Amino acid sequence: MVEVGPAEFQPTTPPVPVPRRSDLVLAAPRLPADARHDLGELSVAERARLTAPEGRGTGARAKRTKIGLSRPLPTGIGFRALPADVPAGASRVVGGGLLEKAADGSLAWTASFSSSGAGRLRLYLTSARLPSGSLVYVYGGSDEVHGPYDFSSGTRPEGFWTNTVVADTIVLEVRIPASAPASDLAKAFLVVGGLVHVEHPVFAPSTKASPTARPKSDACFVDRSCVTLQDWPNVDAASNAVASLEFTDQGKEYICTGSLINTSPQSNNPYLLTANHCFDNQPAATSLQATWQYRTASCNGPVPDEALFQFTLGSTLLATADASTASDYTFVLLSQPPPVGSVLLGWTTANFFGAPGLVGYRLSHPISTDQTYVVPQIFTRDQLLSVPVAEGCNEAPPTRFLYEKDIQGGTGGGSSGSPLMLEDLRVIGQEYGGCGTNTDDNCDNVNNFSVDGAFSLTFPALKQWLQPNAPGACTANATTLCFEGARFRVTVFYATPDGASGAGMAVSLTDDSGYFWFFSADNIELVVKVLNGCGGNNKYWVFTGGLTNVGVTLVVEDTLTGATQTYPNPVGNPYIPLQATNAFACQ
């Protein structure tokens, strides 16, 4: 058995800059018609997709909560090069956006996108690569601004999703410095592929219900701000570890819950645990937007505006497995650090299948049953049970899932992936959902059970990240290469122009070299070496060469230090050889 306690997150990188409207050109009011792209109302087919029951997840409540869908944009919105001959103070329409040149020689490209009936919007960029120093922002009609995004190294193969704005029009602004040479402008590109339309009563402020006027099936929900230290001494720390998750998957938008997880020894890597039935692929992980510390200001106080809380955007998928083979988990590394004061939850590999009566604690972010708001953090207290397979629960065998009865509070759609914790903040499970004979009622704890994937069964797949100094930290498998005595872990993800994606299949050659294939075992796509250069420049080196033009994301991890390097090559670009001679420190 291995046990790790919680810890406060200590950022190792500077905080993400907070954008201000004064940083922007704000050209939206003067955009010509050719730079405004209005998709109008959802079509009948789109409306059917949005309202269709969600089929993923076999449990009665092990289904994702859908809140929107992607709408494709007309081809050609964006640019494949930018002209260098625009006079200062002049403007022209380029690629569906207004290109302006300021007196200082800097360029701004601006386009707006609208979707009638949306409560929130976000953009999907198929690909982008911009001159060094360029900054990209999105904003809506209020003071909400997100960015800046840096595409000097391109995007991941699957593209890039922006933050959401609370509006039915979103404006994209690209800023390019005056120092960018004409040769870099000629190679600059940015392609806008889609618009994510979030239409859900939860995002219509005029329909938000009073927290004291909840429907019957939410009547048991306990506002986290009503929980005292006498109820749970560690509630404040737990509240700083749990996030509301929003992501795009297979053309639709969803919400779930996730939590930060500590490592042994503490690495401060922002690892996040959620459920596989929430998402299980890199494009969805890339689109992940996490909202932190979203809670009411006082017990049963007004529902706050999510836009006022801190976000992180993007993540790298590290491990995932569904309920049919494991305990329904997804584990990612966040691309941005969570807020200062965030807490990394502890964990234990102890087996709790034989611990009926043990009390667990949970915080989560469901959507209210009347579909009018994302509930700020709610509290649940559960008691573990030892039960045979119950009616309506065949998909979650009690040999792989923990069963509980809610003895205080409850959960609902959107709570999936939330951590089940002991009083001292050690995670013992992640929520799969609910099962029983009356799962339409979130508060029926007589006929329903809460069900969690057992962390003791999840841990072996996460050990290489959570306990990297343990023997055999890197475990080679069909998609993983281990180099330098299993110190370095190498994985690859690919993406094709038609939207297909997956993990590269690994073939080891020596202790420091190997290759990956994507579509056929006799078709080598990428060769990789991790070399010990400690006798030279006191660094480990990463060399790669590719025989492909599909999108490639190479992830190399040092299991000793927790350091990770990600090397993307965008879709459609011939693979550029890599010779990173300062990739990792020698320790």
What phi, psi does 204 have (nearest 5°)? -105, 100
> Can you say whether the dihedral through the CA atoms of 211, 228, 440, 320 is positive or negative?
positive
Residue 157 maps to a domain: yes
Three-point CA angle 391, 395, 399, nearest 5° = 90
Confidence band for 369, pLDDT divided at 50, 70 and 90: low
Q: Is the pLDDT of residue 370 over 70?
A: no
The pLDDT assigned to 56 comes to 52
Question: Long-range contacts of range 501-507, CB-CB < 8 Å, 24 or more positions apart?
Answer: 501/157, 501/158, 501/281, 501/282, 501/283, 501/551, 503/479, 504/479, 504/552, 505/478, 505/479, 506/476, 506/477, 506/478, 506/479, 506/480, 506/481
Residue 364 maps to a domain: no
Tokens of 213: 């006027």
Q: Please check whether residue 458 is in contact with residue 329, taking contact to mean a CB–CB distance below 8 angstroms.
A: yes
SS3 456: helix
> pLDDT digit string (tens) for 410-441?
888 889 999 999 999 999 999 998 887 877 77
Q: Please check whether residue 540 is in contact with residue 489, taking contact to mean a CB–CB distance below 8 angstroms.
A: no
> pLDDT digit string (tens) for 460-493?
889 889 988 765 568 788 888 999 888 888 998 8
d(CA 204, CA 372): 8
Q: Which residues is 544 bridged to in the sheet?
A: 528, 578
Q: Please check whether residue 504 is in contact with residue 494, taking contact to mean a CB–CB distance below 8 angstroms.
A: yes
Q: Is the pLDDT of residue 392 over 80?
A: no
Where are any strands of DSSP class E within 410-459? 419-421, 426-436, 448-454
d(CA 254, CA 196): 11
d(CA 465, CA 348): 15
> Which structural domain, as residue segments, surrounds residue 534?
469-585
Residue 219 maps to a domain: no
Closest of 75, 109, 106, 77 to residue 92, by C-alpha: 109
d(CA 511, CA 474): 12
Residue 294 maps to a domain: no
Average pLDDT over residues 494-502: 75
> pLDDT digit string (tens) for 35-82?
999 999 999 999 888 888 775 555 555 677 888 999 999 888 999 999
Average pLDDT over residues 108-135: 94
Least confident of 179-193, 385-399, 458-472: 385-399
Q: Is the pLDDT of residue 211 over 70?
A: no
Residue percentage of the chain with pLDDT more than 90: 56
> pLDDT digit string (tens) for 242-258?
999 999 998 999 999 99
The pLDDT assigned to 443 comes to 83
SS3 394: coil
Residue 528 maps to a domain: yes
The pLDDT assigned to 499 comes to 66
The pLDDT assigned to 236 comes to 96
SS3 438: coil
The pLDDT assigned to 214 comes to 45
First-to-last C-alpha distance (Å) of the chain: 28
d(CA 387, CA 401): 11
Average pLDDT over residues 365-392: 77
> pLDDT digit string (tens) for 215-235?
445 788 999 999 999 999 999
Domain boundary among 184, 202, 220: 202
Residue 67 maps to a domain: yes
According to DSSP H, which parts of 204-260 are helical? Answer: 235-239
The pLDDT assigned to 206 comes to 36
Residue 535 maps to a domain: yes
Average pLDDT over residues 505-531: 92
Name the more confident of 447 and 225.
225
Confidence band for 200, pLDDT divided at 50, 70 and 90: low
Tokens of 334: 């966040």
Q: Is the pLDDT of residue 515 over 90?
A: yes
Domain boundary among 138, 169, 202: 202
Domain count, the chain: 2
The pLDDT assigned to 471 comes to 59
Name the more confident of 216 and 445.
445
Confidence band for 203, pLDDT divided at 50, 70 and 90: very low
d(CA 337, CA 212): 35
What phi, psi does 286 have (nearest 5°)? -65, -35
Question: Please, what is the average pLDDT of the chain?
Answer: 87
Domain boundary among 202, 230, 260: 202
Average pLDDT over residues 132-142: 92
The pLDDT assigned to 422 comes to 93
> Can you say whether the dihedral through the CA atoms of 412, 413, 414, 419 is positive or negative?
positive
d(CA 421, CA 401): 15
Establish how many alpha carbons lie within 13 A of residue 75's alpha carbon, considering only the half-sphere containing its beta carbon.
0
Average pLDDT over residues 128-140: 95
Confidence band for 495, pLDDT divided at 50, 70 and 90: confident
Closest of 277, 307, 303 to residue 292, by C-alpha: 307
Best-predicted range by mean pLDDT (53-57, 84-88, 328-332, 388-392): 328-332
Closest of 472, 528, 540 to residue 504, by C-alpha: 528
Q: Is the pLDDT of residue 190 over 60?
A: yes
pTM: 0.81
The pLDDT assigned to 209 comes to 36
> pLDDT digit string (tens) for 20-34?
888 899 999 999 999
Residue 30 maps to a domain: yes
SS3 559: coil
Q: Please check whether residue 583 is in contact with residue 541, taking contact to mean a CB–CB distance below 8 angstroms.
A: yes
Three-point CA angle 288, 291, 293, nearest 5° = 150
Radius of gyration of the chain (CA): 24
